[in-house]
Amino acid sequence: MDYLRPNMDRDRLLSMSSSALAHVGDGVYELLVRTWLSLHGKSTSRALHRASVSFVSAGAQAKALQIILPLLTQEEREIYRRGRNANVGAIPQSASAEEYHTATGLEALFGSLYLQGKTERIQELFALIMGD
């Protein structure tokens, strides 16, 4: 398995829990945000951290999902719904339950795209979110 370029088949992907997809997607999304910020002029650790937090918070991710939702395929919407409906346990005080569930759905979507090796689709959706 090439962990930098996974190419998981659909059946194996569908057998994974939504929490596992969201776990991977959280890392993918954070890496995208950190890279975007670094390439767009943020240079100090403090500035990078503050900006990263503002983009990866549940509220920001919930807003990001609203940007791309109309453009998702039926399969992508299903993965998003699975993630959104996952049993997430405790919800942080900084987010509403709706925001947190929506953010988990977004992360599951990005996790599933990454695990399927669909990096071009990830790039497309992320560019729309960031207004590129």
pTM of the model: 0.92
Q: CA 69, 20, 61: angle at the middle one, nearest 5? A: 35
CA dist 56 and 129 (Å) reads 12
Candidates 31, 24, 106; CA nearest to 63 is 106
Instruction: Give yes or no for residue 95 having a pLDDT over 80.
Output: no
The pLDDT > 90 percentage for the chain reads 65
CA dist 129 and 20 (Å) reads 23
| pLDDT, tens digit (0-9, with 9 covering 90-100), for 17-47 | 999 999 999 999 999 999 999 898 767 888 8
If you search the block for the tokens 């549940």, which residue do you land on? Answer: 58
Per-residue pLDDT, averaged over 62-78, amounts to 97
pLDDT score, position 130: 96
Single-letter amino acid code for the residue at 72: L
Q: Which residues are catalytic?
A: 26
Q: Which residues are CB-contacts of 99 (< 8 A; sequence separation ≥ 6)? A: 58, 59, 61, 62
